[in-house]
Chains A and B, each alone.
Chain A
Amino acid sequence: MPHTAPASVELRDRPALLEARGLAYARNDEPVFGPLDFTLHPGEVVLVEGDNGAGKTTLLRLLSGLLAPTSGEIRLAGEPLTLARLSPQVALLSHANGLKPELTAIENLRFAAGLLGLRSGLSPTTVLAGVGLAGYDDVPTRKLSAGQKKRVALARVLLAPVGLWLLDEPYANLDRDGIQLVNRLLENHANRGGAALITSHGAYAYTSGTPRRIPLRADANRSDA
Chain B
Amino acid sequence: MRSGSTAAACAALVRRDLTLVWRRRGDAANPILFALIVVALFPLALGPEPEQLRRIAAGVVFVAILLAGLLALDTLFRSDYEDGSLEQLVLSPHPLSLLLACKIAVHWFTTALPLIIVSPLLGELLHLAEPLRGLLPLALLLATPLLSLLGAVCVALTVGMYRSGMLLALLVLPLYVPVLIFGAGACNAAQAGLPFAAPLLWLGAALVLALVLAPLACAAALRISLS
Chain A residues packing against B (C-beta within 8 Å): 61, 64-68, 83, 86-88, 90, 92, 94-103, 107, 110-120, 161-162
Contacts and interface: CB of A to CB of B under 8 A. Distances in A.
Contacts of A64: 87, 91
Contact of B92 (A87, A95, A102): A87
23 contacts: A64-B87, A65-B91, A66-B87, A66-B91, A66-B223, A66-B226, A87-B93, A88-B93, A92-B91, A98-B84, A99-B84, A99-B85, A100-B85, A102-B23, A103-B16, A103-B19, A111-B13, A114-B11, A115-B13, A117-B1, A117-B2, A117-B93, A161-B3
Q: Is the interface of A mostly helix, strand, loop or mixed?
A: loop
How many of chain B's residues touch chain A, expressed as a range? Answer: 20 to 34
Contacts of A100: 16, 20, 79, 83, 85
A95 B84 contact: yes
Nearest to B12: A114
A161 B88 contact: no
B40 to A, nearest CB: 31
B96 to A, nearest CB: 8
Contact of A83 (B2, B16, B90): B90
A111 B17 CA distance: 10
A183 B89 CA distance: 27
> Most chain-A CB neighbours within 10 Å: which of B84, B89, B91, B94?
B91
Chain B at the A interface: SS class: helix
B62 to A, nearest CB: 33
10 A-B pairs closest in CB distance: A114-B12, A96-B84, A161-B1, A117-B3, A98-B84, A88-B93, A102-B23, A117-B4, A111-B16, A98-B88
Most A Cβ at <10 Å: residue of B11, B85, B226, B227: B85
Contacts of B88: 92, 98, 112, 115-116
A117 B3 CA distance: 4
B227 A120 contact: no
Contacts of A112: 88
A120 B92 CA distance: 18
Contacts of A119: 1
B163 interface: no
B159 to A, nearest CB: 13
Contacts of B89: 115
B9 interface: yes
B8 interface: yes
Contacts of B51: none
Given A87-B91, A102-B23, A161-B3, A94 B84 contact: yes
Contacts of A116: 3-4, 9, 88, 92-93
B124 interface: no
Contact of B16 (A94, A96, A107): A107
A26 to B, nearest CB: 14
Given A67-B227, A96-B83, A99-B83, A110 B93 contact: no
Nearest to A62: B227
Nearest to B20: A102
A120 B82 CA distance: 31
A110 to B, nearest CB: 7
Contact of A114 (B8, B23, B82, B226): B8
A61 B87 CA distance: 10
Contacts of A107: 16, 19
A98 B85 contact: yes
A167 to B, nearest CB: 13
A131 B23 CA distance: 26
A196 B160 CA distance: 28
